[in-house]
Amino acid sequence: MPLNDLLPKALKHFPDQEAVVCGDYRATYRIFAARTWQLARALNSMGMIPGDRVAILHENCHVYLEAYFAAAHLGLILVPLNYRLSSRELALIVNDCGARILIAQGIFDEKISGFKSDTPGIEKIIWTGNRKEDIESPGDLYYEEIIGGEDTCIPPEIPISRDDVAHLYYTSGTTGRSKGVMLTHGNVQSHALGTIAELTLTDKDRWFHVAPLFHLADAWATFAITWAGGKHVIIPGFDPDKVIKLMVKEGITITNLIPAMLNLMVNHPGVENHDYSSLRVLMSGGAPIAPGVVKKIIAVFRCDYIQTYGMTETSPYLTLSILKDHLKKLPWEEQLAFKASTGREFINVKLRVVDDNGRDVARDGKETGEIIVKGDTVTPGYWNLPGETAKALSGGWLRTGDLAVINSEEYVTIVDRKKDMIITGGENVYSTEVENILYSHPAVLEAAVIGIPDSRWGEAVKACVVLKKSMNAGEQELIDFCKKNIAHYKAPKSIDFLDALPRTGSGKIYKKGLRDPYLAQD
């Protein structure tokens, strides 16, 4: 079933059920579908044809849901953009994917002005929010105006294959170049159906879109919740006080947050003084989480907890720490160990942990290997990067680059990463990308970037720098230099200045030696 069948199915079965809550905006499935069809018709009238790319730069909003389904209905490829990226980074992505249309929130007008002249392929920008005369140009359109003039009836059905690309999600590249992960209609549909089965989603569920909708930590629920006929409750961004209050007010039943968010919430003043009786499960993913935090989450919110692990390349879920029935009979502390693990394989994937020779490691919770996966949710590859695709996929198996152990119950626990990737606040940061920026500073001789433990963000970006002789640069100067060239969350939070970087016998920079002292302090 392609994605363009999901909203019509929800409309058929739940026309007058509330579908979307976004601030003061509330809509039934009938209204949600009508606005989606209007957007689809507007895009079609602009000459958009199947396979064309539409980018969106927006905070969480009902507009995002409409864009996901309107693009799916027309066979367009939606490209969600990370609004935390710099203008330069956004321009690279827009040009790489060849987007013709950009749906943009007015608050990002300065960021868009910073790359507009560098993205000649963008034919039109559809702005949401209030009209802004200072950003008006011949290519500017206004969201409510363009959809308001269109028919609310469903547009003619377009034949769509399971193998047709539905979305492009750009991830940071280990060489500094962002890679567009292609997810097909089949990938997204299979994942949605799998989550409905695993999480027993129904029309009684009220999902809370807190994590960014440009990120698969949350975006997958757009399709699963709609398919099940549930309610989407949306908040523009994370604020612990607002999230807690809205969670209670709207009777949220389920959501997926990153550990940094959950940590702030369980430590928020007065968090224990609310009624969370509607909440049946909280999920966490995107970064490691301490068992102590898991215990506090369960105690404070008095609901079930599921740890998740996945990748953009896998739509995203690969594991869920859902307890098997017989494990629920174990003592509580033993149950907690399973809940805080990376989890057992997702229903729609096949997962193995293998050694360097491709043999399965022992299921003893001790022998370490790399996680490899295959299944209907795995990407067919990277946009216009056949070489990168071939490196990542071999014989249908995707190499995750994550090192893990696996126990006799088939629950895995990630212990390290092969790639020099830092996960800070749920966002992936590749050390090479940050190092490349530091190396472009005239005073920097050598640089190594590592992730160190951080109580708020899970990991913090730290740079270790050797300056050129007779040249000076302060910590804040280098941090600000990075922030001018890459997203702020990628910039180092702190910098150590060294006389020399440690090296291995082969001459490579010994990052483990830089990282170990901070791990010992944790």
Summarize pLDDT for 405-420 with one digit per residue, the tens: 999 999 998 876 666 6
Residue spans in the chain of domains classed CATH 3.40.50.980:
238-345+376-402
Q: Quick count: other Cβ atoms within 10 Å of Cβ 239?
A: 15
Lowest mean pLDDT among 27-31, 57-61, 73-77, 139-143: 139-143
Query: How much of the chain exceeds pLDDT 90, in percent?
Result: 77
pLDDT, mean of residues 106-112 = 94
End-to-end CA distance of the chain: 48
Rounded CA gap, 90 and 93, in Å? 5
Residue 135 has pLDDT above 60, yes or no: no
**What pLDDT does 174 receive?**
44
pLDDT of residue 176: 54
Answer positive or negative: Cα dihedral of 239, 241, 242, 243.
positive
Contact 54, 67 (CB under 8 A): yes
In the chain, where does the domain assigned CATH 3.40.50.12780 lie? 3-236
- CATH number attached to the domain at 421-521: 3.30.300.30
pLDDT at position 430, please?
77
Residue 6: is its pLDDT beyond 60?
A: yes
What secondary structure does DSSP assign to 467-510, as a single string? EPTT----HHHHHHHHHHHS-GGGS-SEEEE-SS--B-TTS-B-
CA dist 82 → 58, 141, 171, 235, 381 (Å): 8, 22, 10, 16, 20
Compare 399 and 258 and report the one with higher pLDDT.
399
Task: Provide the pLDDT for residue 364.
Answer: 96
C-beta atoms surrounding 440 within 10 Å: 12
How many Å apart are CA 247 and CA 279, to the nearest integer?
A: 8
pLDDT for 505 equals 45
Assigned CATH topology for domain 3-236: Rossmann fold (3.40.50)
d(CA 289, CA 376) in angstroms, rounded, equals: 28
SS3 457: coil
Distances (CA, A) of 37 to 88, 232, 398: 33, 18, 36
- pLDDT the model gives residue 390: 95
One-letter amino acid of 256 = N
Q: What mean pLDDT do residues 63-87 have?
A: 96
Whole-model pTM? 0.85
Look-up of token digits 């908040």: 235
Q: What is the mean pLDDT of residues 18-26?
A: 98
CA angle 5/11/15 to nearest 5° reads 175
Domain ranges in the chain with CATH number 3.30.300.30: 421-521
Q: How large is the average pLDDT for residues 142-157?
A: 95
Q: Is 507 left (phi over 0), alpha (psi -120 to 50) or beta?
A: left
Which residues, 6+ apart, have CB-to-CB distance to 425 below 8 Å? 258, 260, 287, 456, 457, 458, 489
- Residue 335 DSSP label: H
| Model pLDDT, residue 456 | 86
What token pair was written down for 318?
């690969």
Distance (Å, whole) CA 434 – CA 482: 7
- Fold that domain 238-345+376-402 belongs to in CATH: Rossmann fold (3.40.50)
> pLDDT class for 139, splitting at 50, 70, 90?
confident
Indicate whether 464 pLDDT > 90. Answer: yes
Would you say residue 175 has pLDDT above 50?
no
Rg, C-alpha atoms of the chain: 23
109: exposed, middle or buried (Cβ count in 10 Å: 0-12, 13-18, 19+): middle
Q: CB under 8 Å to 420, separation ≥6 — which residues?
A: 174, 430, 431, 432, 449, 450, 511
Environment class of 333 (CB within 10 Å of its CB; exposed 0-12, middle 13-18, buried 19+): exposed
Section 206-225 average pLDDT: 96
| Least confident span in 166-170, 214-218, 257-261, 397-401 | 257-261
Residue 477 or 285, more confident: 477
| 3-class state of residue 63 by DSSP | helix
Average pLDDT over residues 471-488: 95
